[in-house]
Amino acid sequence: MPGQLLFSSSSKQGSSCFVTNRSVMVDKCVGKSVPRKEGWEKVTGAALYVDDIVKPDMLHGATIRSTISRGKIDRITFEGDIPWDEFVIVTADDIPGENSTKMFVGEQPVLAKERVNHPEEPIVLIAHADPYLVRKARTQVKISYIEETPCLSIEDSLNKAPVVWGEDNLFKTIRINKGDVDAAQSEAEIIVEGEYFTGASEQLYIENNGMIGEYDAEEGVTVTGSMQCPYYVHPALCAVFNLPKNKVRVIQSDTGGGFGGKEDYPTIIAAHACLLAMKAGKPVKLIYDREEDMVATTKRHPSRTIIRSGHKKDGTLVFMDVDFALDGGAYMTLSPVVLSRGSIHAAGPYRCPNVKILGRAVATNYPPHGAYRGFGNPQSFFALERHMEKAAKQCGLTADEFRRRNFFREGDLTATQQVVQDRVDMRELLDQALEAADYHNKRERFKKENEGNPVKKGMGIAAFFHGSGFTGGGEQKMASIAGVEGTKDGKVRVLAASTEIGQGAKTIFSQIVADALKLPYDMIEVARPDTDDVPNSGPTVASRTCMVVGKLIQTASLALKQSLVQEGGLDEDYTPEQFAQACKDYVARNGKLRRYSQYEQPANIVWSDETYVGDAYGAYGWAIYVAEVSFDTRTYEARVNDFVALQEVGKVIHPIMAEGQVQGGVAQGIGYALYENIVWKNGRMMNGQMTNYIMPTAADLPVIRVLFAEQPYASGPQGAKGVGELPIDGPAPAIINAIEDATGVSVNQIPATPEILMKEMEAAGVC
């Protein structure tokens, strides 16, 4: 029956199988776990990451960075036993165009000139043919400063103590208002208040950042490197070098992970490499080591959220008043959009007639915080789902019953007054997840077993949703373009700037095109993202690659086919061989055969950036995560023993990869909740090594059991919505809720390291 939720089941080994009564085309490629398109290259070592690429006569670069958090640059001296005359040295004065990364207000400099606003801010670039000499030389560039008082917390920033950006430290303020929270105060019979904190965290992609810059007076600037968004780098380089579009070329090399960490920062590294290359007249490679990558580039925004909610005695939400604040670091960069997503989702998947959300992103003197998978939502949902737990308790309800009473239903309006079109029943999802987790039986059993046992076990739930694609009018403004090409060899080549960063873009694109053209998967190729070759399909962010770009290449594929049928005489019931021959003939006759499709906003998506009223996203992914956690009252260590992740994502294009994305997201979420703690000193990360910044390893992780529901979305390819970010939103609150279930202690801060847990448990008199 259409409109009904369709379930898949998952075995204990974590593999997924699908049960669906939707009509399925035979021999479809989508929905099958085909081999990864770039898998062979990766496992054989044929894949070339940026550091594997060697250009003739290439130099090696390094970046000299601020050692202080805020102040004026006084003097730069080149010291030590270094042959400085052999070095290429670049400062802000060498920039031919704008000294700006071009992100939003464009205030972040490519190289600091007169002052610095955060530790590790780049000031001087050096390059030399000998990389070992470069490593030595970078320590011998000495910079003295006239220091100023930095601002190093959200609280201080809101209190303008001191003002370090603009007039009030506020990068962006968002106000979402639905109903009348003030008037609803009197209707509430129970008031629940809470304050919640999340720390910064590092994306920890496998491959560190790196770029190779080249410059030619004739050709202009070419950069090759690790990145998510070639078309973010491209306009920035045009501005930095004051060059027209066709004199700047950006090529993505094979990229080992991104998670948002390669969304904006690669623009700076690309500019640095190219500035060095221009001055040197030679190619320059600039590779960050792990520490530089960790301490200097962006991290997840720390947050502080204050929630006040009103309820009827039966738990029903009457109002929610959310004060959501993010620490943006020293420059605006992506903070307004991170804030936007986090604010829009801050009231969760709950029906509530009166909602007030105040979102603020503030300036501090940390290195700018930036994109990290989830993009504001992990912060929002940690606060909200911890708060819902608190509210359930105060209303005398169980965690599941409280949520069940408050979930969105058909036709309800979100905080932005969007009628959710996805026909997903959260109550049904909840029941399925709890059953898969054996939630009720386990809770009952743990209650008995915990008595007198130094290891306490508990169960925790998180319920959440995540908009796919850019927020509000973002996709409309971007108006992405993607295409396909019929090649002279009779193959079909996907043309998109969307990058393969380990998430499977090449594979799912190939699957979508194979189905659209009814061709075998191995007839499909994917062009390397190169701004000279592929159109701007938008950045590889925001859970948009599959849903938005996938749809575009599906549409372009049909246009390609039609050209061959209408103009190339291809029979409509072609075989793959006939299709290939028609491509070859067409290209021989007419030259290139490329067909494009451009994003156009579905007419029913309406949004106001002024009022924050409207359809914030075309579609959402929906999820219920359930964590089983044990807490050792002797060591204060928490450990996740079992994890059920159930999500509705429209259509699963590639089951194994989708499952992998969820498992990876949950693993990151476990790190976010319990392990990954950044030690700051004067705004600088002090534990920038993987030996002391602790991410969970396989030994720390439970089997992560993944379940999918599918409710196709009309504007996604074969119904697909986004799946990339959703899995990082829920683990942390589910885990901390489970700790509360195990111990009765309410922890409202992550990462909940043993040190934090010890403090909380001792304060509560539990251990």
By CB under 8 A, name the binding residues for a copy of itself: 1-3, 22-23, 410-411, 413, 417-419, 421, 423, 481, 483, 516, 535, 554-556, 558-559, 561-563, 565-567, 590-592, 594-598, 600, 602-608, 613-615, 618, 650-651, 711-720
- Give the integer Cα–Cα distance in Å for 721 and 711: 9
Smallest CA-to-CA distance from 529 within 224, 72, 311 is with 224
Q: Closer to a copy of itself by CB, 91 or 421: give it.
A: 421
**Could you give the count of Cα atoms lying within 13 Å of 383 in the half-sphere of its Cβ?**
33
Q: Closer to a copy of itself by CB, 157 or 557: give it.
A: 557
- Give the integer Cα–Cα distance in Å for 65 and 68: 9
Q: Closer to a copy of itself by CB, 87 or 408: give it.
A: 408
- Identify the residue whose tokens are 């060498």: 94
Cβ pair 461, 402 in contact under 8 A: no
Q: Closer to a copy of itself by CB, 425 or 628: give it.
A: 425
Q: What Cα–Cα distance (Å) separates residue 518 from each residue in 196, 489, 493, 597, 605?
A: 51, 18, 14, 19, 31
**Phi and psi at residue 663, to the nearest 5°:** -65, -40
The three-class DSSP label of residue 11 is coil
SS (H, E, C) 361-396: EECCCCCCCCCCCCCCHHHHHHHHHHHHHHHHHHCC
Smallest CA-to-CA distance from 499 within 251, 210, 221 is with 251
Minimum CB separation of residue 190 from a copy of itself in Å reads 29
Minimum CB separation of residue 217 from a copy of itself in Å reads 22
As to burial, measured by CB atoms within 10 angstroms (0-12 exposed, 13-18 middle, 19+ buried), residue 556 is: buried
Q: Closer to a copy of itself by CB, 2 or 765: give it.
A: 2
Minimum CB separation of residue 53 from a copy of itself in Å reads 27
Q: Closer to a copy of itself by CB, 379 or 537: give it.
A: 537
Minimum CB separation of residue 569 from a copy of itself in Å reads 9
Structure-block tokens of residue 208: 């560190």
Cβ pair 626, 438 in contact under 8 A: no
Q: Closer to a copy of itself by CB, 531 or 677: give it.
A: 531
Cβ pair 101, 264 in contact under 8 A: yes
Q: What Cα–Cα distance (Å) separates residue 740 from each residue in 152, 347, 714, 767?
A: 30, 22, 40, 13
- Give the integer Cα–Cα distance in Å for 757 and 201: 18
Q: Closer to a copy of itself by CB, 247 or 594: give it.
A: 594
Minimum CB separation of residue 420 from a copy of itself in Å reads 9
Minimum CB separation of residue 599 from a copy of itself in Å reads 8
Minimum CB separation of residue 567 from a copy of itself in Å reads 7
Structure-block tokens of residue 370: 């930036």
Minimum CB separation of residue 595 from a copy of itself in Å reads 6
Q: Closer to a copy of itself by CB, 1 or 763: give it.
A: 1
* H or E element, residue 311: strand 303-311
- Give the integer Cα–Cα distance in Å for 38 and 148: 50
Minimum CB separation of residue 85 from a copy of itself in Å reads 45
Minimum CB separation of residue 102 from a copy of itself in Å reads 17
Minimum CB separation of residue 24 from a copy of itself in Å reads 10
| Beta strand 190-198 pairing with 749-750 | parallel
- Name the amino acid, one letter, at 491: K
Q: Closer to a copy of itself by CB, 303 or 416: give it.
A: 416
- Give the integer Cα–Cα distance in Å for 597 and 551: 9
Q: Closer to a copy of itself by CB, 471 or 563: give it.
A: 563
The three-class DSSP label of residue 262 is coil
Question: What secondary structure letter does DSSP report for 36?
Answer: P
As to burial, measured by CB atoms within 10 angstroms (0-12 exposed, 13-18 middle, 19+ buried), residue 25 is: exposed
Q: Closer to a copy of itself by CB, 392 or 616: give it.
A: 616
Minimum CB separation of residue 510 from a copy of itself in Å reads 18
Minimum CB separation of residue 719 from a copy of itself in Å reads 3
Minimum CB separation of residue 551 from a copy of itself in Å reads 9
Q: Closer to a copy of itself by CB, 153 or 578: give it.
A: 578
**Phi and psi at residue 666, to the nearest 5°:** -65, -40
Q: Closer to a copy of itself by CB, 3 or 765: give it.
A: 3
Give the E-state strand segments of 42-166 in sequence order: 59-65, 71-78, 88-90, 115-116, 122-128, 141-147
**Phi and psi at residue 507, to the nearest 5°:** -70, -50
**Phi and psi at residue 129, to the nearest 5°:** -70, -25
